Chain A
Amino acid sequence: MNLARYVISLFVILSLNFAIPRAMPGDTMTNLLGEDVILSDDLVQEIRREMGLDLPLREQYIIYWKEILRMNLGYSYHFHSPVLPLVLERMKWTLLLAAPPVIIGALLGTLLGALAGWRDSPSTRLQTFIFLTIYSTPPYFLALLSLYIFGFHLGWVPMKGFYSTGSAGNIIHHIMLPVILMSLFSASRNYMIMRGSVIQERRSLYALYARAKGLYDSQILFRHLFRNAILPIITLIALDFGFIFSGALFIEMVFSMHGMGNLIYSALMYRDYPVLQGSFLIITIMVITANMIADALYGLLDPRVRGR
């Protein structure tokens, strides 16, 4: 059942990808090739025929699917490269940036959030305020500020991104600040949800029973409440993966890092539509995959779902 949902999602998204350049204003060929391309009239006719744009839409749709199945996402005239390898090469670096924060943010956010939901004190209130502020700031603005302070003024971190040629130490030096920022963002979201979740669970009967049984506070929190409160978080981390990923794009742009963010930025500058669409497609597929993994994990952790 669930698998069917993912397959349908994928189908709809790929069809959307077919429809967007054809439904948008402007010439379809320009929408498919990008506005950076200047061609002679003869060549325009030839490419139009080659791409099958003179065929009826139904046939174009079939050709589109054939190309997708052959893993062909089009050609970028701006980067002089097929789109798929271009995107995948950049994707590695973005994943390197986005993956650690997902984990750090989940650990930090759920732990601190659980404690804050459990006990209300001046220090947890301050903590909530700090996380709330991070949550409320556009990621790129915080990135700009910290780049300005730690890079420009203090010189602790380099001003420009990292490249595939660097040594491991060099890469870590470059990726440090972006990873910290992303972890804070990811943590702030998990914190808010975990806090709310624990506040809710705290009032349930089994928590009262655990207290009546004479368990210590920390035992109630971590043995009983935590287990139930963590469940919504797992689905959320998966859904949030798209958000974290988008955040990573902006942080890459600010730090001029070699990844998807800068690829999309330059694709936007030159209106290189194939790269834009290819990037969107690959990101979406990654998010769907993350959701599938979360579904499977959820089943492992929640016996109520496992039984079904």
Chain B
Amino acid sequence: MSCGISAKRSLPSNPGALIFLAFLLIALLSPYLAPHDPWKRYEPYLGPSRDHPLGTNDMGNDILSELMFGSRVSLGVGLGAAIIATLMGTIIGASAGYFRGWMDEVLMGITDIFLMIPQIPLVIVVAAFLKPSAIMITLIMGLLWWTSLARIVRSRVLQVREMAFVEAAKVIGFPDRHIILTDVLPNTIHVIMPKFMLTVASAMIAEASLSFLGLGDPNAKSWGMMINFAFSRGGFLNGCWWWYMPPGICITLSVLSLVSMSMLLEESREDEHVAS
């Protein structure tokens, strides 16, 4: 498969990939990297100083430490939701595209209906009924956001299933499950990956938006929750930029890195397409 080669060559040098890797490392290593316990209270409303590089909030929590631990929640929710959504979208899209017939009709009919429901309002309604927790939010988003991926996977699988090696595998008599897993999906992965990254990105933005509505997990301080606290507890009006700017910048930067990686993969795929 030459599909991934040009992308692999350029991905490590892409600033987006580097930034995202850095965020991942911070999330994994936050207990070792963070200068303070994010729940411990110091003097409130402190500006940036040597001891507290990003100052403290109204509760006196160290903001840099909050930021580092927050990356775990924000990235965790984003990645978790995207993994669930991608698995569902891939299974549904691949089954619809591979088996065709009534299965295609039914699965795509369901997809079309879900595609039309405005996601954020539905998530708001469902989340309002449930007790907010990070896992719950991940699940809700993951179970709702597979629709566009299912469509993309299906149209790719429709192409792949007509290719000679798939027909060969059918003639040899391999079971369908085997063909899908070893022949069809490996040739679909390059359309799944860019979409996966976009899903992580939009799940992160959605998590931040839900937190802003007070539907986030109050026990897990995500970046969105930090902005929410800064907004509702007067961080903006008191001009504590060190309080609300860092979480906002972190969200934008990590989403930006994901979107640019996704774009790079898409474009290298298209170059490949033209070259062949």
Contact = CB atoms under 8 A, between A and B. Distances in A.
Interface of A: 5, 8-9, 12-13, 20-21, 24-26, 31, 132-133, 135-141, 144-145, 148, 152, 192, 196, 199-200, 203, 239, 242-243, 245-246, 249-250, 253, 264-265, 268-269, 271, 273, 276-277, 279-280, 283-284, 287-288, 291
Given A25-B129, A132-B259, A280-B122, A137 B117 contact: no
10 contacts: A132-B256, A138-B205, A140-B209, A199-B267, A243-B120, A245-B118, A249-B120, A264-B124, A287-B118, A288-B116
A20 B125 contact: yes
Contact of A246 (B118, B201, B215): B118
B119 A242 contact: yes
In order of increasing CB-CB distance, the 6 nearest A-B pairs are A242-B118, A246-B120, A24-B129, A136-B255, A136-B256, A141-B248
Contact of A144 (B214, B227, B263): B227
Contacts of B260: 132
Given A138-B212, A242-B116, A287-B116, 20 more contacts: A5-B109, A8-B109, A9-B113, A9-B116, A20-B125, A133-B256, A136-B201, A137-B251, A140-B212, A141-B251, A144-B227, A144-B231, A242-B121, A253-B212, A253-B213, A269-B214, A276-B125, A280-B121, A284-B117, A284-B118
A25 B130 contact: yes
B128 A199 contact: no
B78 to A, nearest CB: 12
Interface in B98-135: 109, 112-113, 115-122, 124-126, 128-130
A250 B128 contact: no
Interface of B: 109, 112-113, 115-122, 124-126, 128-130, 201, 205, 208-209, 212-215, 224, 227, 231, 236-237, 244, 248, 251-252, 255-256, 259-260, 263, 266-267, 270, 274
Nearest to B251: A138
A39 B209 CA distance: 33
A269 to B, nearest CB: 8
B208 A138 contact: yes
Contacts of A203: 270, 274
B128 A276 contact: yes
Contacts of B270: 199-200, 203
A249 B252 CA distance: 20
Given A264-B124, A276-B124, A250 B129 contact: no
Contacts of A249: 120-121
B115 A141 contact: no
Contact of A283 (B121, B208, B274): B121
A268 B213 contact: yes
B259 A136 contact: yes
A301 to B, nearest CB: 21
The CB with the most chain B CB atoms within 10 A, among A144, A200, A250, A279, is that of: A144
A137 B115 CA distance: 23
A12 B259 CA distance: 33
Contacts of B130: 24-25
B118 A141 contact: no
A277 B267 contact: no
